[in-house]
Every structure is written in C-alpha cells, then in structure tokens.
Amino acid sequence: MIKLFKRWWRYTTARLTGKFEESADPKVQLEQAIKEAQDQHRRLKEQAANIIANQKQTEMRLSRALEDYEKVSANARQAVVMADEANRKGDSTKALEYTQAAEAFANRMIALEREIEDLKELHAQAGQASEQAKHAVAQNAQAMQQKLAERQRLLGQLDQAKMQEQMNTAMAALSETVNDETPSFEQIREKIELRYAKAQGATELAGGSLDTKMFEIEQAAMHNEARGRLDEIRAQLGLPAPDGGGGAAAELQNKIEELKASTEGAGVAADTADTTEAAAQPAATDQSPPADDLG
C-alpha cells in the first residue's frame, strides 16, 4: 500500500510539474532564475568574506603571539642576567627567585612557539582559502554578468517569438474558419465578389433592354423637335442656321437603327421606326407662322 501511494505521488507530481511548465510564462521563469543566481552570488560573497575575515583574524593572532614571544624572550634573558648577578653577589635567595622566573618565562616561550607554529599553519591555510574564495567570487561575478547579458538576448527572442506567434495566428485566421458561425476571409471575399458580379450583370441587362432604348429614342426625338423649332425661329428672324444642325437628326437615325437591330424578329421594329421618323420631321409637316405674328 505504501509503495502504491509513493508511485501515485511521484506520478501526480510529475504530471502537475509538466502542466505547470506548459502554462508557465518563460519571462517570469527567466526572472526567477536570474534572481536565484543573484542570491547565490550574494551568499558566495558572504562566505568568501567570512573566509577572508578568518584569515585576517588569524594574521592578527599571529602578530600578537609574535609580539608576546619577543616580550617573554626579553624577560627570560633579563631574568637569567639578574640571577647570574645575584649568584655573583652571593645572594642565593634572589638568585633562586630569578632562576625560577627565568624558567617560567622559558616555559611561556615554549608555549608561544607552539602557538606561533600553529597560527602560521592556520594563516597559510586561511590565506589559501581566501585566495580561492576571491577567485570563486570573481569567476561567479563574470558568470553573473554573462547571465545578465544572456537575459537581454533571451527576452528579445521571447518578444520576437510572441510577435511571430501572434502573426501566425492572424494569418491562420484569414484563411481558416474559426467556427460554424464565423466565415473565413476567403468565403467573405467570394460572397462579395459574387454579389458585385450580379449587380454588374443586372446593370448591363437594364442598360441594354428595349424599354431603355425606346426611352433614349424618345428623348432624342424631343431634342430633335426642339432643334427644329429653333431653326424655324432663326429662319423667321433671318438668322443663319448654326453649323452641325443635322447632328441631332443623324443621332436620332442611329438610335432608330440600333432599336431596329435589337427588336428584329420581335415584330415591333417597323411600328417603332414609323413613330420616331414622324417625330423626327417636325419642320416638314408644321406650317410656319407669318412674319407679322413675330412682332
């Protein structure tokens, strides 16, 4: 039962870790990694500072021990000299006292020598450790600078990747259907082009129909009649006719010919031609009013 629970726990942990890695923001993870590296560098500097401080403390202890040794050595020599003088003077009591003091100083010198040797060894080890700590801090600082520079490059790549992903999504949305309710860009374009083509076809059909042509001919006939009336007025006033006066009649005749061609076989070409030809000759059928009436 315990083994099964452990296997389930490891499986669940791995599964949750995988989902977390998929959904995690790389930018946040990068900042976390940089912060962790900065914390490690700070801890390394603190450890190096402690090692250097230990080396400095050992150096100070060695210096004090050497000073103490010099003082004890001088005192021992002085005690020996004073004991020798007391012996020469025959003062055995003082000679014994000075001799005992000299022995005490000698024992202190021996102890200091041992301490100095130990401190020298510790100082050498501390100096080596201090140099290693300094080298480690310098090396880690260089690595830290490289990581900071690498962070800028990775952040730039991450922003570029996000932009590329957004562009790919936008390009895919132009050619793919998001769902059944939203058409794609290609479908919308085809629908608009089809509607435009139908509108253009309807316009062409309306422009080429028989009713439209008959309306154009009627308009031309009315214009020709108006031009004929103006010609009568100019003739009564003795004014010369303007150049190109027959252009309207020629245009009307062309309209009639087009109408005949379009209505050929339908049985309406002859009636339409007779009606429009009669309307095109107002000058020949109407009587000109006498000149006295124009006054």
Could you read off the pLDDT of 124-134 as tens digits, one per residue?
Answer: 888 898 899 88
Query: What does the pLDDT look like over 104-117, one tens digit per residue?
Result: 989 999 999 999 99
Q: Is 286 left (phi over 0), alpha (psi -120 to 50) or beta?
A: beta
Please check whether residue 256 is in contact with residue 273, taking contact to mean a CB–CB distance below 8 angstroms: yes
In terms of pLDDT, which residue wins out, 106 or 277? 106
Helix, strand, coil percent content, the chain, rounded in steps of 5: 85, 0, 15
Q: Domain limits of the chain?
A: 26-156, 187-294
In terms of pLDDT, which residue wins out, 287 or 211? 211
In terms of pLDDT, which residue wins out, 63 or 18? 63
Which residue matches tokens 């895919």? Answer: 172
Does 282 score more than 50 pLDDT?
no
Helix (H, G, I), strand (E, B) or coil at 182: strand
The candidate with the shortest Cα–Cα distance to 33, out of 155, 160, 138, 133, is 155
> How confident is residue 210, by pLDDT bands cut at 50, 70 and 90?
low
Rounded to an integer, what distance in angstroms lies between the CA atom of residue 290 and that of residue 43?
126
Side chain identity at residue 286, one-letter code: D
Please check whether residue 76 is in contact with residue 106, taking contact to mean a CB–CB distance below 8 angstroms: yes
Side chain identity at residue 142, one-letter code: Q
Does 21 score more than 50 pLDDT?
yes
The overall average pLDDT reported for the chain is 75
For 179, phi then psi, to 5°, come to -155, -175
Predicted pLDDT at 295: 33
Among 1.10.287, 3.40.50, 1.20.272, 1.10.533, what is the CATH number of 26-156?
A: 1.10.287
pTM: 0.44
> How confident is residue 70, by pLDDT bands cut at 50, 70 and 90?
very high
Cβ count within 10 A of residue 190: 12
